[in-house]
Amino acid sequence: MSVLHICRNLPESRVFGELFEALRDAGLEQQVFAPVARESELSAQKPEGVPAECVYTLRPADALLFFRKARRTVPEIERRIDLSGVRLLHAHTLFTDGSIAMKLSERTGLPYVVTLRYSDIEAIWRYEPHLRPLGRRVLRGARRAVFLGEGVRERVLRDWFDGAERERLRERSAVIPNGLSPAWLDGAPRERLGDAVRVGFAGVMTRRKRPLDALAAVHAASDRGGRRYVLRAAGDGPLLPRLQSAMLPGDRALGRLQGMEEMKRFYAGCDMLLVPSKAETFGMVYLEAMSQGVPVIYTRGQGFDGQFPEGEIGYAAACGDVREQADRLIQLADGYAMRSERCVRRAAEYAWPVIAQRWLTLYAAAQSEA
């Protein structure tokens, strides 16, 4: 079986290259076509050992004109890619890649699967309601719709479809999260907490990531929990000055950290992680922290919620509910060593080689359906 990936975001995130390389190692024959909107993206880093082309078929003026994107891109795919051996298309976003895959499928008869991501669910669908019929058409035509988390899947099924159509989509849907590089899997469980519980926050300092809520929850936990809690914040952004001005003695803002080794050192200085984001289709920071033995608090109903039973590696908390987030920090202190051990062990289940096998199973099932 050969798969053609349609992946607009290849130049923007290393996640896609890591997936394609893991699929390569698993023996999948594949090609990648990345329609890009800027000439600077033509020289983006490509996955090693996987044929990939970045082609300038999108235009900034086409931002929400997906029929134009498909109209320009499909002929370029047909011209540049030998489709004779391709058996399945994988669109890595619903709207941009999905509209292209749907049009290419109509012209060639090739089936496609589609992954839904943050921009699809929390941006385009929410704020551009006139595009919802397009999103539904892409999903109706897909052999499989793939979500990064169970909470996101249930929200889309509940809000986007009704009755029998909802159940049909449920049957054709799957949850496959992002993976973790095996190089992360060197963490060790933590044995106990120190005098001050160090709560990590990692992310861009924006309203969506809610760093001020994280700081407020840390302070509230100190007031109520019988322990001292302090914040260790990694990241930069417009809310950083406000965060710094609200810090108490012991809190620290570390600025932007880059690379796996810097992030490992950051997690080594944290006992827990709290990133109470408003919207996440997955949230890699939670998985990275787990790999280093750090229990996590994540947003209820967002991408990471539902990956694990409640309390096993951490807890969900409502976005914007600082009191509940503080309660969850206090709860994490109980049974801390046992939960830290589970974090390390369960993170290994998300290594890219494991996730690649889940994709191979889905591809085979989608391609074999009549």
Q: What tens digit of pLDDT does each residue of 53-104 get?
A: 999 898 877 777 778 889 999 999 999 999 999 999 999 999 999 999 999 9
Assign residue 340 a region: left if phi > 0, alpha if psi is -120 to 50, beta otherwise? alpha
Dihedral angle sign, alpha carbons of residues 91, 93, 94, 99: negative
Residues 323 and 207 in one domain: yes
Report H helices in the chain.
Answer: 14-25, 66-80, 96-108, 118, 125-127, 132-141, 150-160, 163-171, 211-224, 240-246, 260-268, 284-291, 322-332, 336-347, 352-368
Please list the ranges in the chain whose pLDDT falls under 50.
none
Q: What is the pLDDT, as a whole number, of residue 363?
A: 98
Distances (CA, A) of 192 to 117, 195, 196, 310, 339: 37, 10, 11, 21, 11
Residues 140 and 260 in one domain: no
For residue 231, report the phi and psi dihedrals to the nearest 5 degrees. -100, 135
Q: What is the pLDDT, as a whole number, of residue 223?
A: 79
* Tally of structural domains, the chain: 2
Q: What is the pLDDT, as a whole number, of residue 87?
A: 97
Residues 135 and 18 in one domain: yes
Mean per-residue pLDDT over the chain, rounded: 93
Residues 168 and 255 in one domain: no
Dump pLDDT digits (tens) for 126-183: 888 999 999 999 999 999 999 998 888 988 999 999 999 999 999 999 999 999 999 9
Residues 201 and 323 in one domain: yes
CA distance 200 to 50: 36
Residues 197 and 78 in one domain: no
* Two tokens, residue 109: 């008869």
Q: What is the pLDDT, as a whole number, of residue 121?
A: 85
CATH number, domain containing residue 20 = 3.40.50.2000
Q: What is the pLDDT, as a whole number, of residue 283?
A: 79
Q: Please give the biggest Cα pair distance in the chain.
A: 67
Residues 205 and 330 in one domain: yes
Residue numbers of the domain that contains 84: 2-179+351-368
* Two tokens, residue 190: 């933590």
Q: What is the pLDDT, as a whole number, of residue 357?
A: 98
Residues 96 and 202 in one domain: no
Decide if 215 contacts 248 (C-beta within 8 A).
Answer: no
Residues 205 and 331 in one domain: yes
Residues 228 and 340 in one domain: yes
Q: What is the pLDDT, as a whole number, of residue 38?
A: 85
Q: What is the pLDDT, as a whole number, of residue 106?
A: 97
Decide if 182 contacts 352 (C-beta within 8 A).
Answer: yes
Decide if 221 contacts 330 (C-beta within 8 A).
Answer: yes
In sequence order, the 6+-apart residues with CB closer than 8 A to the CB of 174 are: 144, 145, 146, 147, 362
Residues 239 and 202 in one domain: yes
Residues 172 and 274 in one domain: no
For residue 163, report the phi and psi dihedrals to the nearest 5 degrees. 50, -130
For the whole model, what pTM was predicted?
0.90
Residue 259, Cβ neighbours under 10 Å: how many?
8
